[in-house]
């Protein structure tokens, strides 16, 4: 079950308190709809809201349910993906200011130096279907150059926003060939698979069958248009309210 809070997106520029409240509302709604496990498929929500939801809200709502984020899975594998031990993060303003990636990575790999740059225009480029436009080159190159000036020894860059892989052709164009670009999707999926192996009690509570249901807080027609950019297929979606 996919819930997109599109009416209140983007979360990146919003304060910690607002992101936490919006994220909590979405988690509660998904619990009400029968979900036992919720993944915050947004780096900003994972950075600003996950820990409070896990530590404060879950014990009161239902201690048997779980909420996971998408920063930790990437942090866990980064040690295998860098040789220089210098890692870059390209993400939203909120994710960069939270320093969540640096904290998570250095818990696991204290020797890795982490540098991050916020990319405020990248999400709108994707949302408005401008990722392939000539104008996108300026904004992509500007942030990559800024990151590499911070630390020229970076040999791995994490794309710390789920929108950014759609800019991959532009990103690759402006990154040196020796620098590895790391989109999160495959690592988050593999981490979830491993989570189910380690937690069979949760795996048994999750329904099977490969069915996807899409929910949005925005106009369904607008969501379908955006979903086409990401999924390249028509989706059925219904409107849902939060709060």
**Annotated catalytic residue 35:** no
Pairing between β-strand 113-118 and β-strand 86-91 as defined by DSSP bridges: parallel
What CA dihedral angle connects 228, 123, 212 and 221, to 10 degrees? -50
- 151 Ramachandran zone, left/alpha/beta (phi>0; psi -120 to 50): beta
Burial readout 42-80 (b: 16 or more C-beta within 10 A, e: otherwise): bbbbbbbbbeebeeebbeeeeeebbbbbbbbbbbbbbee
**Annotated catalytic residue 206:** no
CA 169 vs CA 130, 131, 175, 189: distances in Å: 13, 9, 10, 23
The answer to whether the CB of 92 falls within 8 A of the CB of 10 is: yes
Catalytically active residues, by annotation: 42, 161
């Amino acid at each position: 079950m996919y819930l997109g809070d599109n009416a209140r997106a983007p979360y990146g520029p919003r304060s910690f308190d607002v992101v936490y409240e919006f994220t909590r509302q979405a988690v509660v709604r998904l619990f009400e709809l029968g979900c036992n496990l919720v993944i915050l498929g947004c780096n900003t929500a994972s950075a600003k809201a996950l820990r409070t939801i896990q530590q404060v809200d879950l014990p009161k709502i239902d201690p048997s349910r779980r909420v996971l984020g998408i920063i930790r899975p990437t942090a866990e594998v980064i040690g295998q993906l860098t040789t220089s031990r210098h890692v870059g993060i390209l993400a939203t303003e909120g994710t960069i200011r939270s320093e969540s990636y640096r904290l998570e990575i250095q818990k696991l790999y204290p020797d890795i130096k982490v540098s991050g740059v916020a990319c405020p225009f990248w999400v709108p480029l994707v949302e408005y279907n401008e990722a392939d436009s000539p104008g996108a080159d300026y904004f992509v190159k500007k942030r990559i150059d800024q990151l590499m000036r911070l630390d020229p020894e970076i040999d791995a860059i994490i794309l710390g926003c789920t929108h950014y892989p759609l800019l991959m052709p532009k990103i690759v164009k402006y990154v040196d060939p020796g620098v590895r670009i790391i989109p999160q999707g495959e690592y988050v999926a593999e981490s979830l698979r491993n989570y189910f192996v380690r937690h069979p009690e949760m795996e048994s509570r999750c329904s099977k069958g490969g069915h996807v249901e899409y929910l949005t807080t925005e106009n369904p027609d607008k969501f379908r248009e955006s979903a086409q950019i990401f999924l390249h297929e028509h989706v059925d979606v219904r409107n849902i309210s939060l709060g």
